[in-house]
Amino acid sequence: MTEWTILGAGALGCVIAGQLHQKGERVGFMLSERHRGHFHPNLDLITLSGRHQLIQSQPRFPEHARKVECLMVFTKAYHVLGALKELQHLPKSTPIILFNNGMGLTEQVKELMPDNPLLVGVCSHGAMKEQDWLVRHTGKGETWLGALNEAGKEWTHLLKPLAASLGHCEWSDDIALHQRHKLAVNAVINPLTAYNNISNGQLVEPRFHDVLEQLTDEVYQVIARLNGSDAESKDAFRRRLQQVIEETAINYSSMQQDLANGRKTEIDYITGFILKHADGIPVPVSQQLYDEIKRREA
């Protein structure tokens, strides 16, 4: 049985680790430097039903990389390259699955890890870190897996244990399409909620009607052009967006939380992607939100 190594023991990484562990899978955490020399308690995962599940796991650091059998990367997008660079001893045969939100890292990861099987996971589970080693699973979602390079295509067998543990996991031959699908929702909800310091549900208030409409339109046009014949209709995108807003109404988006807590956001990989691919499509709202959030981040 393959051991899953979780790089990025934050909210989502811990929730996925917990679900794998619950199904009897072997799981390990590859920790960041700040954890070295500290006591590592068992991970306390609060499941969707509110039950506490304690997960015992052997903490690992980059010098243990040569033993890693399958690496799942759950760091924020801006930490992915730095975290991978630390794993100099990672075997070239070890598959690496990137789960970060946003896009724009693919080429750099391919350059950095040219021999490893590379995959992407697009995951819509919800997770919240309440404190170090205490994580809450806040929403059940889907997981899509796809290859980033030829070697990655040999790892479709990972689906079975992932589907058994996560409730859903399917293979996609066009994983970038799934990434853009998710990115489109994030590119509307995240910067607007972060900029206005509001919960997702507050976006339906009349004062946000016009800006929400305009941003939805900008993001739709950019993503629809990239998706070509696979593009959803604008109404379908609106309905999907509305559904996420309703289902996560009481939640604060990850970007709102990052900005409100003085952390770096993933704006470069979400709104930054929209700006980069606008290619003549006017995107004034996206540009203004991007500039303002970058200014506040600094």
Ligand X SMILES: CC(C)(CO)C(=O)C(=O)O
How near is the Cβ of 169 to ligand NDP at its closest, in Å? 14
Residue 265 interacts with ligand X (CB under 6 A)?
no
* DSSP H or E stretch at residue 176: helix 175-196
Residue type present at position 19: Q
Evaluated on CA atoms 82, 18, 102, 168, the torsion sign reads positive
Please identify, among the stretches 32-40, 59-67, 247-255, 276-284, the one whose residues bind ligand X according to the rule CB under 6 A.
Answer: 247-255
The C-alpha atoms of residue 94 and residue 96 are separated, in whole angstroms, by 6
* Percentage helix, strand, coil for the chain under 3-state DSSP, each rounded to 5: 50, 15, 35
The catalytically annotated residue of 110, 140, 182, 276 is 182
27 makes contact, choosing from ligand NDP, ligand X, none, with CB < 5 to 8 Å by partner type, with: none
Residue 75 interacts with ligand X (CB under 6 A)?
no
Say if residues 79 and 87 touch (Cβ distance below 8 Å). Answer: no
Residue 253 interacts with ligand X (CB under 6 A)?
yes
How near is the Cβ of 188 to ligand X at its closest, in Å? 8
Task: Output the CA torsion 234→240→243→248 (10° steps).
Answer: -120
User: CB-based burial of residue 273 (10 Å sphere; 0-12 exposed, 13-18 middle, 19+ buried)?
Assistant: buried
271 makes contact, choosing from ligand X, ligand NDP, none, with CB < 5 to 8 Å by partner type, with: none
How near is the Cβ of 150 to ligand NDP at its closest, in Å? 25
Residue type present at position 207: R
- Hey, which residues does 45 pair with through a beta bridge? 53, 135
Please identify, among the stretches 82-90, 106-114, 245-253, 290-298, the one whose residues bind ligand X according to the rule CB under 6 A.
Answer: 245-253
153 is catalytic: no
Report the residue number whose CB is nearest to ligand NDP: 10
Give the three-state DSSP class for 185.
helix
Site string for ligand X, 151-190 (x = CB under 6 A): ----------------------------------xx--xx
Question: Which active-site residues does the annotation give?
Answer: 182
Residues found near ligand X in the complex (CB under 6 A): 101, 185-186, 189-190, 200, 244, 248, 251, 253-254
